């Protein structure tokens, strides 16, 4: 142990964005760093197979959930979304080293990872808990699709240049029939993603709420609304062709007239660890290129 301080996280698994050029070298470098710090190192199975770094144990998600102390994500927010949804049920904390572009939740720049990660391994970090959504699609009274989302659930029209009509309910109360290109239901984490481009507000991650934002609504007074996260949102497809539902833009299902998409708060939460002194506002300022003057 370089500074003599005991490790808080002894067994660390690496999840890499293995499709990216040079990813093998990055994963190998970080694995060596962790080993030198005194950690037991494993690789997520697909990361191991696709990088060829077979000298480390290769673990699937259940094995990681049962045996590791920390998950280290090398990539962008998409990589974090994919593994975060799967590991949340196990309560495993995650750290993100950014190799992507925006990096709202993979917030440690690769060129500073040594100092930041070394401190986190020894218990010097800020913990940030994020809510997840549990979504289901119902057809003729039975569930035909289920998914979890960390960012958002999006109901979209198809490729045909026409709107879809959606009936929206919150906790069983009718809200409106909305004609639009679609509808976004986003967590505070997802408020900086698609919901932001649709005109939705930014929600601080400490706010226990969701954003419901229409996409290009026919009625301009149909505005984004912030809802309490404990509510249930139901969206029914009234009319429109080739509608679909996306979950974090990583899983997709086609929809038919009469289908109901039900969104509830998941029983699981995601644990994100950040370097000491981390600030949500620093992230917004850097990633959204706000005026950085004093």
**b/e map 227-265, b = 16+ CB within 10 Å:** bebebebbbbbeebeebbbbbbeebebebeeebbbbbeb
d(Cα 255, Cα 232) in Å, to the nearest integer?
19
277-100-185 Cα angle (round to 5): 80
- Tokens standing for residue 251: 């899983």
The backbone torsions φ and ψ at residue 291, rounded to the nearest 5 degrees and listed phi first, read -55, 120
Where would I find the beta strands (DSSP E) of 192-291? Answer: 209-215, 225-228, 233-239, 244-247, 251-254, 260-274
Which residue, chain included where needed, has tokens 């708060």? 265
**b/e map 179-188, b = 16+ CB within 10 Å:** bbbbbbbbbb
- Tokens standing for residue 94: 């995650």
Which residue, chain included where needed, has tokens 């990055």? 26
d(Cα 93, Cα 203) in Å, to the nearest integer?
22
What positions carry a catalytic annotation? 77
CB 35 within 8 A of CB 11: no
Gyration radius from the chain CA atoms: 20
d(Cα 49, Cα 33) in Å, to the nearest integer?
20
10-98-264 Cα angle (round to 5): 85
């Amino acid at each position: 142990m370089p500074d003599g301080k005991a490790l808080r996280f002894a067994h660390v698994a690496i999840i890499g964005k293995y499709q990216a050029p040079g990813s093998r070298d990055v994963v190998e470098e970080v694995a060596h760093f962790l080993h030198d710090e005194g950690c037991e190192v494993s690789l997520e199975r697909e990361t191991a197979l696709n990088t060829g770094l077979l000298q480390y144990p290769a673990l699937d998600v259940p094995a990681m959930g049962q045996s590791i102390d920390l998950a280290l994500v090398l990539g962008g927010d998409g990589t974090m979304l994919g593994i975060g949804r799967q590991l949340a049920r196990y309560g495993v904390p995650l750290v993100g080293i950014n190799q992507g572009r925006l990096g709202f939740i993979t917030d440690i720049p690769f060129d500073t990872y040594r100092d930041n990660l070394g401190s986190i391994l020894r218990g010097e970090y800020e913990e940030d808990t994020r809510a997840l959504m549990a979504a289901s699609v119902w057809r003729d009274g039975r569930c035909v699709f289920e998914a979890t989302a960390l960012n958002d659930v999006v109901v979209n029209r198809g490729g045909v240049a026409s709107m879809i009509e959606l009936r929206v309910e919150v906790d069983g109360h009718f809200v409106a029939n909305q004609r639009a290109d679609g509808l976004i239901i986003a967590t505070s984490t997802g408020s900086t993603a698609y919901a932001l481009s649709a005109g939705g507000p930014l929600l601080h991650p400490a706010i226990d709420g969701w954003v419901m934002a229409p996409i290009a609504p026919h009625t301009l007074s149909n505005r984004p609304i912030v809802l309490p996260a404990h509510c249930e949102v139901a969206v029914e497809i009234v009319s429109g062709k080739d509608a679909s539902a996306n979950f974090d833009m990583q899983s997709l299902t086609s929809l038919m007239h009469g289908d109901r998409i039900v969104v509830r708060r998941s029983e699981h939460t995601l644990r994100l660890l950040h370097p000491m002194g981390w600030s949500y506002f620093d992230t917004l300022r850097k990633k959204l290129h706000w005026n950085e003057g004093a």
